[in-house]
Amino acid sequence: MTDLATRVAAPHARLLRRAVPALLGFAAVRTLGLVVLTAWSAARGKSAHTLLTARWDSLWYTRVAELGYGYQVRLPNGDVHSNLAFFPLLPWLERLLHAVTPLSYADAGLVVSLVASLAAAAGIFAVADLLHGPRVGVCAVLLWAVLPVGIVQSMAYSESLFTALAAWALYAVLTGRWVSAGALAALAGLTRPVGAAVVAAVWAAAVVSFGRDRSAAHTDGAHRTTRAPSASAAEPRPQRRRLLGMLIAPLGAAGYVLWVGHRTGKGPLGYLDVQAGWRNGFDGGYAFARFMADKFTSFPSALAGVGLIVGVGLLIWLYVTCVRQGQPVAVLVYTGVVLALALCASSYFGSKPRLLLPAFPVLFPLARALARLRTSRSALAGAGLAGAAAVYGAFWLNGSGPP
């Protein structure tokens, strides 16, 4: 891994120029996915536009944008599905875009997602490029684009928006832009509950940075002889910016959770009650483990059980590899929290693949391996994966889809 202490972040214009190949490749993969989805849906008498904008969570976001909070559905089993479970940033953007354009709320959500997916791709490139160089950055973006559930990146969902904010927050942390990192973390906290992962990353990196400053100060004091004391006069300013970033980071998530608690009259834990109505919670992975174990009750489903175990094992192996390859603490904390919240939650298990989309740093070891191949071979592999992802995305979205 490149030593970040000796790297200087590229100016924004130069960084965007370096990201052009990654963005073009990402756009090509997503375009292919949409073309295949359109053809597949038409063959089945369905509308690809409806699948992208008016199913599952996208309907809830659109309803929040149009009517605000307060809508809920009571199921026959007594569960209460409240739209307070959905964080507000995406609906706010849908409402804003609807107000200034002729777009419907649903189409506004689709546009926000498409733009955010490009911003996410640029952010993923920026982080990977900073850590491992531009070739790995391009490969990381393409691997993120060709994930089997990559079609979600083009839906009116919040995954693309959250990933964009998270990636650029990590980049801001890695390049010492603490106030920007805090602001982006706050926005991520207004997007999805997993925004806590971005906050944790900012706080962990800041604590480590403060520790290094203190250690350096002690070392400097021990070896100071004739140096003037004014050499450290500029130190408080970056420390204040770091502290300010830490203070800003949790404001988004904390603000919304506290508002929900006030609205429901149940105090700071009111949001947990809202999630409980959706059967969402954190049980350390017990429910997911039981779900996988139940797959082994018959032969056909046992194959799915084996696939789930292999998939979880691969994620753990990739994360361990990230640790061994020396990824920065901010990246490791962020990825670890995203993985933990996705795998150890008791929510609907069919949604777990899309909940893992923001965990893009686990792709970096694979991107490094792909970057070592000849360009022709890596391009061939990328084309094959893009085709497979496009077909699977069309099949998936026309079937069970991402709940």
pLDDT for res 68 = 93
Identify whether the C-beta of residue 17 lies closer than 8 Å to the C-beta of residue 147: no
Strand partners, 82: 72
Residue 342 burial by CB count (10 A; 0-12/13-18/19+): exposed, middle or buried? buried
pLDDT along the chain (403 residues), means of 10: 48 81 95 96 93 90 94 86 94 97 95 96 96 95 95 94 98 95 98 96 93 68 50 61 95 95 88 87 73 74 80 93 95 96 79 91 96 87 91 89 66
Q: How far apart are CA 62 and CA 294, in angstroms?
A: 36
* Contact by Cβ (8 Å): 151, 33: yes
Structure-token pair, residue 212: 């290094």
Distances (CA, A) of 66 to 257, 264, 271, 400: 21, 21, 22, 27
Q: Provide the whole-model pTM.
A: 0.91
Write down the pLDDT at residue 338.
96
Output the DSSP codes for 264-313.
HTSGGGHHHHHHHHTT--B-TTHHHHHHHHHGGGSHHHHHHHHHHHHHHH
> What is the number of helices (H) and of strands (E) in the chain?
18, 2
Run of H or E including 74: strand 72-74
pLDDT at residue number 6: 45
Parallel/antiparallel/unpaired status of strands 80-82 and 72-74: antiparallel
Q: Please report, for the chain, the start and end positions of each structural domain, with discontinuous segments joined by +.
A: 12-216+240-277+372-397
Structure tokens at 349: 């298990």
Amino acid 232: pLDDT? 42
pLDDT value of position 239:
84
Query: What pLDDT sits at residue 307?
Result: 81
pLDDT the model gives residue 4: 55
Question: How far apart, in whole angstroms, are the C-alpha atoms of residue 113 and residue 352?
Answer: 19
Find residue 74's DSSP bridge partners: 80
pLDDT for 310 = 87
The most distant pair of C-alpha atoms in the chain lies apart, rounded to whole Å, by 82
- With 0-12 / 13-18 / 19 or more C-beta atoms within 10 angstroms meaning exposed / middle / buried, residue 38 is middle
DSSP 8-state assignment for residue 158: S
Residue 125 and residue 132 in contact, taking contact as beta carbons nearer than 8 Å = no
* Closest CA relative to residue 306, chosen from 292, 290, 318, 317: 292
What pLDDT score does 220 carry?
Answer: 58
80 closest CA partner among 275, 284, 270, 306? 275
Whole-number CA gyration radius for the chain: 22
Distance CA 105, CA 93 (A): 9
